[in-house]
Structure 1
Amino acid sequence: MRPAARPMWAVGLALATLPAAAQTTPPACKGYVHLTLDTGNMRHAELIAEILARHQVKATFFVAQEKTWRGDHALDPAWAGYWKARVAEGHAFGSHTWRHGSFRRDLPDGQVAYRLMDGRQLTLSPAEVCAELRQPDTRFAELTGRALDPLWRAPGGRSTPNTLKASEACRYRHVHWAPAGFLGDELPSGAYPNEALLRRALADIRDGDILMAHLGIWSRKAPFAPMLDPLIAGLKARGLCFATLAAAGRGSH
């Protein structure tokens, strides 16, 4: 489901109220794509926000309590201003789990093996899976006054049947990304230079694709974030428009 197009009579009425110099008909959308951004280390969060605002693009942010380049964490009170600004701009937001762990495998009785970033191995019950998804929701509402949308993304996109069953029971829809929408910002820049990743994305992304990048990546030497500027411009030139996953009602396993 995609945002409904405005009827032609409504477009004509709106244009009739504009000064003659401003009466240029906007290009029709040939399709919609969905840009999603996972927290990562937040190093390029401000730059990405500027790019989105310049192109008037609304994205879907998946938030976790990840360590940032400043030494704090992405959902600490110090980041409240950043998130409030994105809320005011009309973006969508989903859970990326609280501890950004990895759902490894299913266990008996609906449980899931969960590995934390420091290597510790935990066993989560269905209720604990829900708590892992809800904690970013609770914190985000404390920081911004807005709850998350009922969406989530597993770190690394890795989920299991038990994890998905538990998340659906607590009303979070899992969102992956399209193969062409993997923008590659976490790949080594020596083997995958920005220009090559940009060319591939512009050639392969199609209507309906979910795109995925991060607000900062520790390992990549040449950050991909500045490439979002020509990427958005190039996709718009192809007639593709941008919509949030909340507006489009999208969610998938």
Structure 2
Amino acid sequence: MKPELQHLLLALLTSTLPALAIPDAHAAAACKGTLYLTFDTGNMRHAESIADTLARHGVKATFFLAQEETSRGDHALDASWASYWRARVAEGHAFGSHTWRHGSFRSDSGQQVRYRLPDGHTEILDARAVCEELQRSDVRFQELTGRRLDPLWRAPGGRTTPNTLAAAQACGYQHVGWAPAGFLGDELPSDTYPNPVLLQRALDRLKDGDIVMAHLGIWSRKDPFAPMLDPLISGLKNKGFCFATRRAP
């Protein structure tokens, strides 16, 4: 073959190779199941380290936000947290309301709902007031980030009532709970539920489609579970799981 033809053939092959899109073995492997990591605000003590772990693993999560008091003395939706939430938006995570005041929906009475606040006081909410409780976090998140929440919400403690669910659905919010195996236990006492036990339990029990729930910081646990997120994600990936965000249909 003439030299000029050899050079032409080599050039054509070289220009074509990048377009062949040969996937690596990991990307080609089919997921054996999909899990949904979700985090409630809590006291935000480990918010930065959790975000770093998610970014390192390339995992997107769904965050549920309330105006909760944080370990630094402010609140999770104060302006002091704007840069944190903007960074999570830029990373492509999903976000839902966790109510504004992080109260507990206790029971229905007629068309109303008993709503117990963290300070122990109880209010009676009608459907409009339930919507306002969810929307206030939504409006605030847009003020901080320029983006509305996804049309999702999670009741504090997972406690809902028929009236609460109906009111939330009417104003556009779909409730997201968690799977029994998805309760990571980061709010349980660490002396009776040490981290290695909780980690192994999650690795053993989680299955395809499970929603996993933890907090960005919790007051009630002495030995925080947050450092276990790294081995948890690694272990689940090794078992063939992929991760996705929860987004309303």
String of CA shifts for 1:184-240, please: whole Å, max 9, x gaps: 000000000000000000000000000000000001000000101000011111110
**Cα deviation, residue 17, structure 1:** 2.0
* Residue 79 (structure 2) aligns with: 77
Secondary structure (helix, strand or coil) at the match of 1:17 reads: helix
> 1:104: Cα distance to partner?
0.3
| Cα shift readout 1:104-125 (whole Å, capped 9, x = no counterpart) | 00011x1000000000010001
Q: Residue deviations 1:24-43, cap 9 Å, x none? A: 23232111000000000000
1:201 equivalent in structure 2: 202
Q: Summarize the alignment of residues 157-236 of structure 1 with structure 2, pairs less than 5 Å apart.
A: 157-236=158-237
Deviations 1:123-178 (CA, angstroms, capped at 9, x unpaired)? 00100000000000000000000000000000000000000010000010001000
In structure 2, the gaps of 5 or more residues are 1-15
Correspondence for 1:126: 127
CA distance in 1, matches of 2:202, 2:23: 33
The two structures, once aligned, show a CA RMSD in angstroms of: 1.6
CA distance in 2, matches of 1:211, 1:24: 28
Percent of aligned pairs with the same amino acid: 69
The higher radius of gyration belongs to 2
Distance 2:199 2:86 in 1: 30
The equivalent residue for 1:24 is 24
Give 2:36's aligned residue: 34
**What is residue 141 of structure 2 aligned with on the other side?**
140
CA distance in 2, matches of 1:24, 1:111: 55
Partner residue, 2:155: 154
What SS is found at the alignment partner of 2:187? Answer: coil
Q: What one-letter code is carried by the residue in structure 2 that aligns with 1:74?
A: A
Distance in 2, matches of 1:202 and 1:79, equals 32
Query: Given the superposition, is the C-alpha separation of residues 55 and 107 from structure 1 closer, same or farther in structure 2, using an over 3 Å criterion?
Result: same
CA distance in 2, matches of 1:23, 1:131: 48
Which residue number in structure 2 is paired with residue 53 of structure 1?
55
TM superposition score normalised by structure 1: 0.89
Counterpart of 1:221 in 2: which secondary structure?
A: coil
Match of 2:9 in 1: none
Query: Which of 87, 90, 93 pairs up with 2:89?
Result: 87
Would you say how many aligned residue pairs link Structure 1 and Structure 2?
232
Q: Secondary structure at the match of 1:103?
A: strand
For structure 1, the 5+ residue unaligned runs are 1-14
